[in-house]
Amino acid sequence: MTKTWLITGCSSGFGRILAEAVLARGDQAIITARDPESLRDLVARYPDAAHAMTLDVTKAGDAAAAAAEVEARFGGLDILVNNAGFGFVGAVEESEPAEYRPMFETNVFGLIETTRAVLPALRRSGGGRIVNFSSVGGITGRMGFGLYNATKFAVEGLSEALAEEVEPFGIKVVIVEPGAFRTDFLGRSIASAANVLPAYAETAGWTRQYREDDDGSQAGDPQKAIAVLLKAVDEASPPLHLPLGKDAYARARAKFAAFQADMAAWEAQATDTGFEA
């Protein structure tokens, strides 16, 4: 059956690749970007199935307009993909509010408002999907990415709670947690703190250098990642958590092992904290 999608952040990266894959397999989609001119070629290739719209997730009204358009044009919505977002590199002490607050507005609050805008249509579908792009950085923090990690940890918690809220309506939530893939994310979609403190040269400074050195050499193939995502979305019982890439699995497993080790070491004392009977 043909599915109807609403995808944010389609101008580049995973959003662009996903939009192309969705349309190529015969589905229909509202594809969005802050500049919909960047999507003109996709609309030209799939004039009956693709409709491009302006959607800046930080602007009040844009998400509601997209939700109304998808129902008016296609009669309903099956899958929302919250992909729009960007990153930020800098030690916590180096970072200024004017640098990192816009990232929270996009990665967290924009995702929330887009989801809220389309939930009525998804509830009416009786079996929709909400795909929220997080990151392996939403599972485990890394020096220099603390503020970015904070936004993705927020996406994780929100998505887990949302999954419980919408389960009675037949809606499933999938949290996508990619590792390093060869998109333009490192080069195009990450800002850096202007303030550079020598004290953090071996920590956040290392992360800045990694961003410059590894751009274009990441091991992950984004086309393969999107193929896995599409397969997961099509499942009757899709996974809530979908790490993508060997590095994502390695980092997640290391986090869980360290977490369990801390729990085991402190369990006797930490659980002996109740009132005496």
Would you write out the chain's pLDDT as a tens digit for each of its 277 residues? 899 999 999 999 999 999 999 999 999 999 999 999 999 999 999 999 999 999 999 998 999 999 999 999 999 999 999 999 999 999 999 999 999 999 999 999 999 999 999 999 999 988 899 999 999 999 999 999 999 999 999 999 999 999 999 999 999 999 999 999 887 666 567 889 999 999 999 999 888 776 665 566 788 899 999 999 999 999 999 999 999 999 999 999 999 999 999 999 999 999 999 999 8
Instruction: List the one residue out of 138, 159, 133, 153 whose CA is nearest residue 222.
Output: 133
Q: How far apart are CA 242 and CA 178, in angstroms?
A: 8
pLDDT for the residue numbered 126: 86
Residues annotated catalytic, as ranges: 134, 148, 152
For 175, other C-beta atoms within 10 Å of its C-beta total: 25
pLDDT for the residue numbered 141: 97
Q: Is 47 exposed, middle or buried (0-12, 13-18, 19+ CB in 10 A)?
A: exposed
Residue ranges of domains in the chain, CATH in brackets:
4-245 (3.40.50.720)
Is the CB of residue 2 less than 8 Å from the CB of residue 28?
yes
pLDDT for the residue numbered 208: 79
Tokens 């590199």 sit at which residue? 89
Is the CB of residue 166 less than 8 Å from the CB of residue 122?
yes
pLDDT for the residue numbered 190: 85
Strands (E), 48-171: 50-54, 79-82, 87-89, 129-133
pLDDT for the residue numbered 212: 64
Global pTM value = 0.94
pLDDT for the residue numbered 116: 98
